[in-house]
Structure 1
């Protein structure tokens, strides 16, 4: 199945140590600045990545966009980041960024409360949250970018139902956050839309996007309950679902970074979502001087589509055709997800 938009090459960008740009202590993370000599940069952007930049999921997809933006705006923008931050330290990390940045970006709905609190404390600093509640409202200096996880989950549910031989599917989420709960509902909607008789198990919420062990247990429970294809929204925890699928002979729908079907046979398909495009978007608006505290919905209806479904090579061609129809219905507005 062809991509709906061209894949952009990921170019490595040198990491520089810049004194005084950001120093976090007691946050369980690390930070670095990149994008050129901060002395010659006119703008500064700080990005909070709560998880690992090599999680194969949401955070890594976002980091790829961070790297592209750093390359694109080298000499104009100095970027800094912090990763693997504990929930108790989100606010501290955001405050540190806010004291030295023109724009602060936070990743994931788990940061929603902290970023809203800090944005209110620093009204002259611009903030953007990626992946927060889909129905959230921007504030005077806080933009909300929705990567359309609900839309991706709808596609995932449709693919799972079409690929399931047992006609039983399930969904594993990293945490019971509003955006993830909503995605679970859309997963079921997508499944029922293409296979009305499919059984969708009660969603499982691990409690941690990165806990592979707990994710494996949740997945094993679903496979034992009769499911043979699972959808998921996890970061490092996705590895646990792969382990469970391999042991039980089941499969999963990967994403947001597509899995290599040939080397990871547990994957039946992947939903590709370019989270990093939202970092690029916010940075570009900042550089142009047109940045606004707005709610922007990315996905299939965005100018450059940011969601797609990729099937593994062994999939029935009729499944690909049906999923193309599902995508067309979303793009046309016939199917709406939130």
Structure 2
């Protein structure tokens, strides 16, 4: 059997073909039963080829069930089931992450070492002699040398011998034919280029789409081939005749394998030789240039499949930040979506727009009623004023100078960070709720510019003011807000406040950090992850506590190393050089994923991840904070450096200022004002993880399950670090 994406189904088919009892009901139970009693009164030999697909293609729960079954069967030393598994060497560590299976796996491993010259010669001559073919001595010598000198050369040797057999002279395989093929290095690439070169422009475009659907990207391992249903390829909105010509061309050159799924009978397509993924230069460039696209498409396809399996329930559609990410990606990617993927994305967009339209209509109607009420009140006041001889001119001047409904006081657009997300939420709410708006941009070139501008807007009678930068100006802000009790304010990230006309907005940082910790642990290969904090402050402790709890929740044996930067008065948040030194030390001491809550110091973490990866020859990860640093890092360091760092930014813990601002502005417009502390967590879509690079798409189902458990209250995320809980004196982290 070959596991594929559904190893339990593949096991059912394999056992049924061998006559195992009850395989159709529960293949794992049937396998365990066969280990005890045999299969049809005989011993059973189960060969699982391409065992790495259990880890690269199958989902977590099905993978665990399958491995548990193999472990139970193999663990029965007196049993009647024998297992043979073939596993690529770069996947050797994956079985070790499953304790029960690891116990039977480790003592049974037989490492297939590179061939010796004698073994290579036998591998070449043995099959040739069986079919009466002679190999020229000079060709044999070259093949043996190249086969033993090149790592992972067996697929190339296999392909070369097949091609040489087709080009034989009488019954001889010749050195001349081998040189025409381009040698062992070039045989696959040359053959693929030959097939590609015979295609027209339309066919070449289709070839790119096809091959990028036949690869599965791995982290810390070489890419692997992916088996696709033919129906998936025909759903690409490509000319069917051209698609057929492409598939036939590469199949005729033995580069694609056309088969049928043993479970469903559906036609399938896959790369015939996994070596093609890195041996064909053009395909290798395609893969390298579309890494994020391939990951994102695979994730979208999986989500679409879940939606269809649910009966197209709206709960399974994309929403919020995930919808925005996929929608933006789909508009800009070169990859074509298959019809089911397009249907899923379009249904998500329609559902989102319908919800927003309904909400906007409700809010707009409520706001219109309130504005009419205010106008009637102003008319009444004006009438009274006339009766007491205030004067018509004063009345008309007052109405002509009517203030905007809402205003934003902030430090400007274009930093690529949280300020832009604040502005995005403000602009969306003003536009969709039909509110007149003013944006006051701070330059900090005048003394007390913040207080002066806030007071001006308040005195003018603006109904609602969104105030950024309040944490730096809290005393001045609250004094002005207290003097204007009829004005509503949104104050961002002030932990405490006493005014009911102010919504003090904060975020459940520990919840987003919990997911960051889970992602780090799931991606870690060394079992060591790190956290870098900008300063020992209660707000940063929430990040640390959540990150550590999330990592331990998915891997209880994970080691979490905590480091805080040194500095006076918060300088640890603006010291990339110190962060780079700390991160470099953590990486060199075994950590392979590090999360930072250290402001702009995080730039040093990204530099360290990129630099140390090159030094140690391992792919190291960093996790950003606040904004989607995969996308926004270019604003801080420029596009060239950002391009080098992006491959190491696993994800970012997002704080959705746009969601918070929009939500409270909508409440204000509806007349549902709630002052005081306002906290935004996972339930309110106020925090989450970015997925721009596509690096967490493979673990997204597990992260979504954890998120649901947090929202339901099943998981309560701590806000105090473990090192401080249950002790009179907190332990100091590493520095």
Give the TM-score category using the shorter length: 0.7 to 0.9
1:59 lines up with 2:419 in the alignment: yes
Partner of 1:97: 454
Contact conserved, 1:138 with 1:293, CA < 8 A, in 2?
no
Partner of 1:146: 506
After TM superposition, list the pairs within 5 Å mapping 1:42-57 onto structure 2: 42-49=404-411, 53-57=413-417
* Unpaired stretches in structure 1, ≥5 consecutive residues: 11-37
Query: Displacement, 1:176?
Result: 4.1
**Residues 191-216 of structure 1, C-alpha deviations (whole Å, 9 max, x = no match):** 11111221212242473545434443
Contact conserved, 1:70 with 1:79, CA < 8 A, in 2?
no
After TM superposition, list the pairs within 5 Å mapping 1:222-261 onto structure 2: 222-249=586-613, 250-258=620-628, 259=630
**Residues 64-113 of structure 1, C-alpha deviations (whole Å, 9 max, x = no match):** 32333344356622232337x69xx7x75145313323334344784374
Higher RCO structure (Cα 8 Å, ≥6 apart): 1
Closer, same or farther: CA 7–41 of 1 in aligned 2, 3 Å: farther
The two structures have a TM-score, normalised by structure 1, of 0.73
Contact conserved, 2:514 with 2:547, CA < 8 A, in 1?
yes
1:297 lines up with 2:679 in the alignment: yes
- DSSP 3-state at the match of 2:408: strand
Closer, same or farther: CA 287–218 of 1 in aligned 2, 3 Å: farther
Cα distance between partner residues in 2 of 1:79 and 1:138: 26
Query: Displacement, 1:149?
Result: 1.8
Cα distance between partner residues in 2 of 1:110 and 1:256: 16
After TM superposition, list the pairs within 5 Å mapping 1:1-338 onto structure 2: 1=299, 4-5=319-320, 6-7=323-324, 41-49=403-411, 53-72=413-432, 76-82=436-442, 93-101=450-458, 102=462, 103-107=464-468, 110-111=471-472, 113-114=474-475, 115-116=477-478, 118-120=480-482, 122-133=484-495, 136=496, 138-205=498-565, 207-208=570-571, 209-249=573-613, 250-258=620-628, 259=630, 263=643, 264-302=646-684, 305-310=685-690, 312-313=693-694, 317=698, 319-337=699-717, 338=719
Closer, same or farther: CA 285–314 of 1 in aligned 2, 3 Å: closer
Partner of 2:363: none
Contact conserved, 1:57 with 1:235, CA < 8 A, in 2?
no
- DSSP 3-state at the match of 1:105: strand
Closer, same or farther: CA 62–234 of 1 in aligned 2, 3 Å: farther
**Residues 16-60 of structure 1, C-alpha deviations (whole Å, 9 max, x = no match):** xxxxxxxxxxxxxxxxxxxxxx956532423334xx744444333
Closer, same or farther: CA 291–314 of 1 in aligned 2, 3 Å: closer
Cα distance between partner residues in 1 of 2:480 and 2:588: 44
Cα distance between partner residues in 1 of 2:485 and 2:518: 43
Partner of 2:33: none
Contact conserved, 1:138 with 1:144, CA < 8 A, in 2?
no
Cα distance between partner residues in 2 of 1:193 and 1:109: 35
- DSSP 3-state at the match of 1:295: strand
Partner of 1:31: none
Closer, same or farther: CA 127–172 of 1 in aligned 2, 3 Å: farther
Partner of 2:275: none
- DSSP 3-state at the match of 2:529: strand
* Unpaired stretches in structure 2, ≥5 consecutive residues: 1-298, 304-317, 329-399, 614-619, 634-641, 720-735
Q: Which moved more, 1:149-158 or 1:319-328?
A: 319-328
Closer, same or farther: CA 285–272 of 1 in aligned 2, 3 Å: same
Task: Please say which structure displays the higher CA radius of gyration.
Answer: 2
Contact conserved, 1:210 with 1:236, CA < 8 A, in 2?
yes
Contact conserved, 2:474 with 2:494, CA < 8 A, in 1?
no
Specify which structure has the higher proportion of strand: 1
Cα distance between partner residues in 2 of 1:306 and 1:220: 32
Contact conserved, 2:709 with 2:715, CA < 8 A, in 1?
yes
Closer, same or farther: CA 288–77 of 1 in aligned 2, 3 Å: farther
Cα distance between partner residues in 2 of 1:104 and 1:301: 25
Contact conserved, 2:442 with 2:449, CA < 8 A, in 1?
no
Query: Displacement, 1:269?
Result: 2.5
Closer, same or farther: CA 321–278 of 1 in aligned 2, 3 Å: closer
Specify which structure has the higher proportion of helix: 2
Closer, same or farther: CA 56–233 of 1 in aligned 2, 3 Å: farther
Partner of 1:18: none
RMSD: 3.6
Cα distance between partner residues in 2 of 1:118 and 1:177: 28
